Amino acid sequence: MPEVIGRSVPRADGPGKVTGQTLYTADIEHKGMLHAAILRSPVPAGKIVRLNVDKARQMPGVKAVVTAADVPNVRAGWALFDTPMFARDEVLFEGEPIAAVAATTLAQSRAAVAAIELEIQEIPPVGDIDMALAAGARLIHPKLAQYGSVPGIVFNREGNVACKYAYEEPGVDEAFARADRIIEDTYDFGRQYQGYLEPKGTVVQYRDGRYTVQSGHQYVFNLRDRLAQFLQIKPSDVRVQGMAIGGGFGGKLDFGPEPYAAVLAKATGKPVKLIFSREEDLLAATVREGARVRVRSALDKDGNIIGREFFTDHDNGAYSGELILMAGLALMFCRGVYRTGPIRTQFRLIYTNTSPTGAYRGVSGVPMISAIECHMDHIARELGVDPRAYRLAHTLNNNEKLPNGQMLHDAAILMEAYAEIEKIAPWEEMKRTKKPLEGVAIGSTVWLTNPLPASATVKLNEDGSAHVLSGTCDIGTGAMAQGVVGIVAQTLGLDPANVHVVQPDTDVAAYDGGSQGSRTTRAVGRAAEHAAIEVRQKVLDAAAPLMQTEAARLTLSGGKIHDIEDPGKAIGLTDILMMGAFASGPIVGTGKHAEQPIPFDPGCAAGLAFPTLPTPTYHVHMAKVAVCPMTGNVEVKRYIVAQEVGKALNPQGISGQIQGGVAQGIGYALHEGLRVKDGRYMERSLEAYRLPLAVDIPEVEAIILEHPADEGPFGAKGTAEPPIVLAPAVIHNAIYDAIGVPLNSIPLTPENILEALERRKSA
């Protein structure tokens, strides 16, 4: 039996996806199923003056039309309860749901939506964070102070600020007062749409007083809880069955179409399918937030950073989702991975009359880390020193702390990552061989892993195969299809082809924190490893009497139980399962995982949702770009990643994640762009919102570094989320190197680049 761990075992769910056999939510058909459509606000802000659904109710095929009048008058939310299911008296963003229709066909429900009489008295929208923060700005949530929230977390809210967090170490002002020079930058970051292949969709049934929800979803328990809040029922009255998911990238962690389909299913007594059109999905997606980061460093005469200010403002949109939990990142990332002297940091999440924002791979950390890395290049250039050398001279070492007091025991891995890249792309040579308008850049960061708990059950079948039950899906990373399968196969000595993962189901599995933040392989993997170890012990216990020996002398591998002291003696696993099951009962193991508390500084981090995050991993990225003088377009000529992963359970899977994350980071930097004008998106389709294509992205050279983590599974750490986080800054800095001026905003449009080139020419 070859080792499973460390080998590039092909993923179990690959062939089905490639050949089209995999069933997605859109493929579901139930008898009598109705099709739903949503009426959304056509304006970013206004009062609903008239809403009449009588005519729509009379339309052919229409079975139900529901509005705010038909649902509990509550506000729900992941952490801060500010979101109504339907707009009641006022609309706060373009695309906000106002009514929903179920009809026999989709055409009928769309026609009925168009027949709803809606009159809105428009109000000038608070369209961006500047307007929201301006003195005398209209309050988007006048009753903000009264909203409920999850216990245990402090949200300082005021005006249009949903959450403000600030902290400073002693000595910041003194550092700036005695600084030899002060360097300040303000960076603007645009929104980014997750752009998954499968728009959000659901099928909901209401039967025997319970809702059954089928959705391709990243976090079925969160969805269950949100439905319970909106519908004012017990979470256990909702069953969420996860379907195969056509991508999510953070966009499918909260509710989407589900509450609307649920209300319609109850109203009609029929299964209701609601699939967003692409335009609708884009309009209502909880995209990566726009942000503005101001970072200011005090330098002494040797160029050391002796003080740092870091102010980061994030656009919440009209309602809160996950971002309100991210305040602590401003503390963890304000220093980057460099020594800075004392820090002053502030995070604000600001309401605007725009579509609500949310998680996208590298949640809220992308703008923060981008700002730090762009600022580092600026400092180096201002000092006239090489940006790589400047970083190396100030990079944190082992056992230095992040500002939250969390110890980085192994930060020296960063040096190893620089050294590995140096072997294949020597920096001086990269610089020397640049042609005009080519640029190179390098950057580094730490990234952390989502800490939510996990559980898994492994059941061994009579034929010697195993099923793994958990509450999370394979979001597409292979974390379940390759990672967890591999962990269980290795532990039980099974062929990975004989280990199957079951789609998540809130009725079946225990609580799980969902497929997010690089946690699945690590957290679910550890739970599954514990479960598999229990299974293995039970197998050996069942085999011992049959082999007339003690369990301690037995091992399980290659589908057989062997006696260590008598190698000739072995019994087949299936024999045990057939015979043993009579005596011992079916063999099932369960496991769980919860993070051990990480020491931190309570003085600064108390009250934060995440004062610390587990398993720091270390990353160095390098890029070479060429700027076209005719168009201002940028071609990424070379992209190299050195990433610490703990242990590469499946190297091919990790390379795939690195390629994908970098592609999204390059896309964010160069191609995508979701501009907001007067509260509305300017890009409203995938024709206008330009996701990068395969031809736009180079093949990423991935160097995988392994420092196995003690706490397992098999040493693995969180891997899939972070490849995105450095790419925007590294691309920005490479362009900075190519054209000699920083652009200080992302995306980096050909317009801005060409304009900068013109400026340079005339200067």
Residues that bind other proteins (CB under 8 A): 37, 106-107, 110-111, 113-115, 277, 279-280, 629-633, 670-671, 682-683, 687-688, 690, 692-693, 695-696, 749-751, 754-755, 758
The residue among 525 and 673 lying less far from other proteins, judged by its C-beta, is 673
CB proximity list for 627: less than 8 A, separation 6 or greater: 437, 438, 439, 633, 634, 735, 738, 739, 753, 757
State the Cα angle at 124 between 122 and 128, rounded to 5°. Answer: 135
Phi, psi at residue 272, to the nearest 5°?
-125, 130
The residue among 280 and 678 lying less far from other proteins, judged by its C-beta, is 280
DSSP line for 739-751: HSS---EES--HH
The residue among 154 and 693 lying less far from other proteins, judged by its C-beta, is 693
For the bound state, the minimum distance from the C-beta of residue 112 to other proteins, rounded and expressed in Å, comes to 9
For the bound state, the minimum distance from the C-beta of residue 71 to other proteins, rounded and expressed in Å, comes to 22
The residue among 106 and 228 lying less far from other proteins, judged by its C-beta, is 106
Q: Which amino acid is at 133?
A: L
Q: How far apart are CA 717 and CA 413, in angstroms?
A: 14
Residue 727: closest CA among 624, 634, 621, 636: 621
Q: How far apart are CA 563 and CA 560, in angstroms?
A: 10
Q: How far apart are CA 324 and CA 86, in angstroms?
A: 21
For the bound state, the minimum distance from the C-beta of residue 288 to other proteins, rounded and expressed in Å, comes to 18
For the bound state, the minimum distance from the C-beta of residue 360 to other proteins, rounded and expressed in Å, comes to 20
For the bound state, the minimum distance from the C-beta of residue 754 to other proteins, rounded and expressed in Å, comes to 6
The residue among 37 and 175 lying less far from other proteins, judged by its C-beta, is 37
Q: Which residues pair with 156 in a beta bridge?
A: 164
- Residue 659 is encoded by which pair of tokens? 């390629």
For the bound state, the minimum distance from the C-beta of residue 622 to other proteins, rounded and expressed in Å, comes to 22
Per-residue CA distances from 564 to 141, 403, 517, 552 (Å): 69, 51, 41, 9
For the bound state, the minimum distance from the C-beta of residue 290 to other proteins, rounded and expressed in Å, comes to 17
The residue among 48 and 753 lying less far from other proteins, judged by its C-beta, is 753
Phi, psi at residue 392, to the nearest 5°?
-55, -35
For the bound state, the minimum distance from the C-beta of residue 669 to other proteins, rounded and expressed in Å, comes to 12
The residue among 56 and 421 lying less far from other proteins, judged by its C-beta, is 56
For the bound state, the minimum distance from the C-beta of residue 317 to other proteins, rounded and expressed in Å, comes to 20
DSSP line for 435-494: PTTEEEEEEEEEE------EEEEEEE-TTS-EEEEES----SSSIIIIIIHHHHHHHHT-
The residue among 133 and 628 lying less far from other proteins, judged by its C-beta, is 628
The residue among 105 and 433 lying less far from other proteins, judged by its C-beta, is 105
The residue among 113 and 213 lying less far from other proteins, judged by its C-beta, is 113
DSSP one-letter code for 687: T
Q: How many CB atoms lie within 10 A of CB 151?
A: 5
SS (H, E, C) 649-685: CCHHHHHHHHHHHHHHHHHHHHHCCECEECCEECCCC
For the bound state, the minimum distance from the C-beta of residue 114 to other proteins, rounded and expressed in Å, comes to 4
The residue among 98 and 231 lying less far from other proteins, judged by its C-beta, is 98
For the bound state, the minimum distance from the C-beta of residue 14 to other proteins, rounded and expressed in Å, comes to 23
Q: Are 620 and 414 in contact (CB under 8 A)?
A: yes
The residue among 400 and 683 lying less far from other proteins, judged by its C-beta, is 683
For the bound state, the minimum distance from the C-beta of residue 691 to other proteins, rounded and expressed in Å, comes to 8
Cα dihedral 642/648/650/655 (nearest 10): -10
Q: How far apart are CA 199 and CA 201, in angstroms?
A: 6
Q: How far apart are CA 492 and CA 540, in angstroms?
A: 11
CB proximity list for 739: less than 8 A, separation 6 or greater: 437, 439, 627, 753, 756, 757, 760
For the bound state, the minimum distance from the C-beta of residue 630 to other proteins, rounded and expressed in Å, comes to 4
The residue among 113 and 554 lying less far from other proteins, judged by its C-beta, is 113
The residue among 102 and 454 lying less far from other proteins, judged by its C-beta, is 102
Q: How many CB atoms lie within 10 A of CB 34?
A: 29
Phi, psi at residue 310, to the nearest 5°?
-145, 110
For the bound state, the minimum distance from the C-beta of residue 695 to other proteins, rounded and expressed in Å, comes to 4
For the bound state, the minimum distance from the C-beta of residue 411 to other proteins, rounded and expressed in Å, comes to 38
The residue among 113 and 231 lying less far from other proteins, judged by its C-beta, is 113
For the bound state, the minimum distance from the C-beta of residue 635 to other proteins, rounded and expressed in Å, comes to 9
The residue among 107 and 497 lying less far from other proteins, judged by its C-beta, is 107
For the bound state, the minimum distance from the C-beta of residue 684 to other proteins, rounded and expressed in Å, comes to 8
Name residue, tokens 């390059």: 666
Q: How far apart are CA 241 and CA 505, in angstroms?
A: 4
State the Cα angle at 433 between 429 and 439, rounded to 5°. Answer: 100
The residue among 88 and 278 lying less far from other proteins, judged by its C-beta, is 278
The residue among 651 and 750 lying less far from other proteins, judged by its C-beta, is 750
DSSP one-letter code for 44: S
Residue 149: closest CA among 84, 87, 82: 82
CA count, 13 A, side-chain hemisphere, 227: 32
Q: Are 468 and 497 in contact (CB under 8 A)?
A: no
Q: Is 217 helix (H, G, I), strand (E, B) or coil?
A: coil
Q: Which amino acid is at 395?
A: T
Residue 726: closest CA among 344, 381, 417, 452: 417
Q: How far apart are CA 678 and CA 675, in angstroms?
A: 10
For the bound state, the minimum distance from the C-beta of residue 193 to other proteins, rounded and expressed in Å, comes to 14
Phi, psi at residue 486, to the nearest 5°?
-65, -40
